[in-house]
């Protein structure tokens, strides 16, 4: 009898520990629904999703890298480069080839990061910190520090496809999240990504090719950053050289808030989607309430620290039980 209840308590704590993000999200949605009549409308929620999609796509890639036990600080800069190439190359080679080159730049930079991490044994924090600085430099060299403007504004109509309240951008984000959730759960690469992040020595002893997985995941991360950049360029019709600045930090915040472990081995795309949505709901809700934007920044910071603290408390309680 006692054993049964204690086991149940254990599972609840375990569930909370693993899914606290959905609790946060539900709480945020409930609060803002009550506070603002405009919040819980189909249109607004569609908007939330679209706004969240850009960092969301970055976060999908970041989740792959983080579960693998690494980090990628260069995603914001990669996004900016892809967006600049996708717009800047259009007059010379046409719209879709330019988009393709933009995409390839992300793939190449991701592969470069991954290769450097795998071959050198340097921590990815340092490698991608270098990348963040250097790739931003590339963006500035390419754009000459000017915002690039698209010539044919038909380009900005491309993402104007809706399925109900869902924009194409939002759909791409959700589709990518679903795709990579599938990769994580159902492919060998995905499962070995967990194995490497979880216990690298055990993975190595079992003959798992650690370097290959790392290179693949950094490449995925770079490619997704490029996709986010291209979508952003379509939405704005311009490519700002400063686009995506400190987005890498927001991305990391969203992924960690979702519950994916910074040290690797644990996490999922659904958690990341939860983290992204929570951040987006907070942001959107606070704006609907006309709070000044500093409140938003303070709330986000506090929520993150709270989440970290909660995680610690739950983990401690679980350890004691």
Partner 1 sequence: MTDVILSVAGITKTFPGVRALADVSFDVRAGEVHALMGENGAGKSTLMKVLAGLYKPDAGTITLRDEPVTITSPLVAREKGILLIHQELSLSPELSVAENIYLGAWPTNALGMLNKRKLRADAKAALDALGCDFGPDVRVGTLSIARQQMVEIARAQAFNADVVIFDEPTASLTDGERRQLFATIARLKSAGVGIVYISHKMDEIFEITDRITVLRDGQVQGTRITADTDLAGITRMMIGRDLASYFHRAREDFRDEVLRVEGLTHASLFSGVDLSVRAGEVLGLYGLVGAGRSELVETIFGLRHADAGRLIWKGQEIPFPTPRQAVDLGMALVPESRKEQGLVLGMGGRENVTLPHLAMFSSAGVMDRGREREVFDTYRDILDIKTTGPEQPVEKLSGGNQQKFVLAKWLCAAPSLIILDEPTRGIDVGSKSAIHELIAKLAEDGLAVIVISSEMPEVLGVSHRILTMTEGRISGSFTGDGMTEQALIDAVSQPANRAVQEDIA
Partner 2 sequence: MTIDWQQALRRHGLIAAFGLFLAAVAVGAEGFLTLGNILDVLRQVSITGTIALGVTFVVVTGRLDLSVGSMLTLLTVIVVDQHNAVGPFGAIALTLLAGLGIGAVNGVLVGLFRLNALIVTLAMLSLLQGVTLWYSGGSNVNVAGAGETWFAVFGRGSLLGVPVPVLIFLGGAVVASFFLKRTTFGRAVHAVGGNETASRFSGIATARTVAAAYVVSGLATAIAAIIMGSRVMGAQNTIGQGYELTVLAGIILGGTSLMGGSGSIWRTVIGITMLGFIQNGLLLLGFEYYVQWLVSWVVIIAAVWLDLAAKRGRVLA
What residues make contact with partner 1 under the rule CB under 8 A? 14, 186-189, 191-192, 194-195, 198-199, 201-203, 205-208, 265-266
**Torsion angles phi and psi, residue 167, rounded to 5:** -80, 165
**Torsion angles phi and psi, residue 260, rounded to 5:** -65, 135
Q: Is residue 21 part of the contact set for partner 2 (CB under 8 A)?
A: no
Spatial distance between the Cα atoms of 308 and 27, rounded to a whole number of angstroms = 17
Residue 198 binds which one of partner 1, partner 2, none, with CB within 5 to 8 A depending on kind?
A: partner 1
Residue 179 binds which one of partner 2, partner 1, none, with CB within 5 to 8 A depending on kind?
A: none
DSSP state of 147: P
Which is closer to partner 2, CB of 96 or CB of 125?
Answer: 125
Q: Is residue 121 part of the contact set for partner 2 (CB under 8 A)?
A: yes
What count of other Cβ atoms lies within 10 Å of the Cβ of residue 28? 22
Q: Is residue 302 part of the contact set for partner 2 (CB under 8 A)?
A: yes
Spatial distance between the Cα atoms of 128 and 70, rounded to a whole number of angstroms = 10
Spatial distance between the Cα atoms of 83 and 87, rounded to a whole number of angstroms = 6
Residue 171 binds which one of partner 1, partner 2, none, with CB within 5 to 8 A depending on kind?
A: none
For residue 238, what are the β-bridge partners? 149
Task: State which of residues 157, 301, 318, 321 lies at the interface with partner 2 (CB under 8 A).
Answer: 301
Interface characters, 249-288, with partner 2 (x: CB under 8 A): x--xx--x-----x--------------------------
Unique residue bearing structure tokens 């609907």: 288
Least distance CB 253 / partner 1 (angstroms): 22
Contact call for residues 234 and 155 (beta carbons, < 8 A): yes
Contact call for residues 62 and 176 (beta carbons, < 8 A): no
Task: State which of residues 48, 59, 132, 166 lies at the interface with partner 2 (CB under 8 A).
Answer: 132
Spatial distance between the Cα atoms of 290 and 38, rounded to a whole number of angstroms = 12
Site of interaction with partner 2 (CB under 8 A): 116, 118-123, 125-127, 129-138, 140-141, 144-145, 245-246, 249, 252-253, 256, 262, 292-302, 304-305, 308-309, 312
């Amino acid at each position: 009898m006692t054993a049964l209840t204690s086991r149940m308590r254990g599972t609840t704590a375990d569930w909370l520990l693993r899914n606290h993000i959905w609790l946060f999200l539900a709480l945020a949605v409930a609060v803002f629904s009550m506070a603002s009549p405009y919040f819980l409308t189909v249109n607004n929620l569609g908007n939330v999703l679209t706004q969240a999609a850009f960092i969301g796509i970055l976060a999908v890639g970041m989740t792959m890298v983080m579960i693998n036990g690494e980090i990628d600080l260069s995603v914001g800069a990669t996004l900016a480069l892809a967006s600049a190439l996708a717009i800047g190359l259009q007059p010379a080679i046409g719209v879709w080839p330019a988009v393709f080159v933009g995409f390839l730049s992300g793939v190449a930079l991701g592969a470069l990061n991954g290769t450097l991490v795998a071959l050198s044994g340097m921590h990815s924090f340092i490698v991608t910190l270098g990348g963040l600085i250097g790739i931003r430099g590339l963006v500035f060299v390419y754009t000459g520090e000017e915002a690039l403007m698209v010539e044919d504004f038909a380009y900005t109509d491309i993402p104007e496809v809706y399925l109900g309240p869902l924009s194409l951008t939002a759909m791409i984000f959700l589709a990518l999240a679903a795709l990579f959730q599938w990769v994580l759960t159902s492919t060998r690469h995905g499962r070995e990504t967990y194995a490497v992040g979880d216990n690298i020595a055990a993975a190595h002893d079992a003959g798992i090719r650690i370097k290959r997985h790392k290179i693949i995941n950094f490449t995925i991360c770079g490619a997704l950053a490029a996709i986010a950049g291209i979508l952003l360029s379509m939405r704005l019709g311009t490519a700002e050289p400063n686009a995506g600045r400190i987005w890498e930090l927001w991305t990391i915040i969203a992924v960690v808030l979702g519950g994916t472990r910074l040290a690797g081995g644990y996490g999922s795309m659904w958690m990341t989607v939860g983290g992204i949505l929570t951040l987006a709901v907070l942001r959107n809700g606070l704006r609907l309430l006309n709070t000044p934007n500093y409140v938003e920044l303070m709330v986000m910071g506090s929520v993150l620290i709270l989440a970290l603290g909660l995680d610690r408390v739950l983990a401690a309680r679980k350890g004691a039980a």
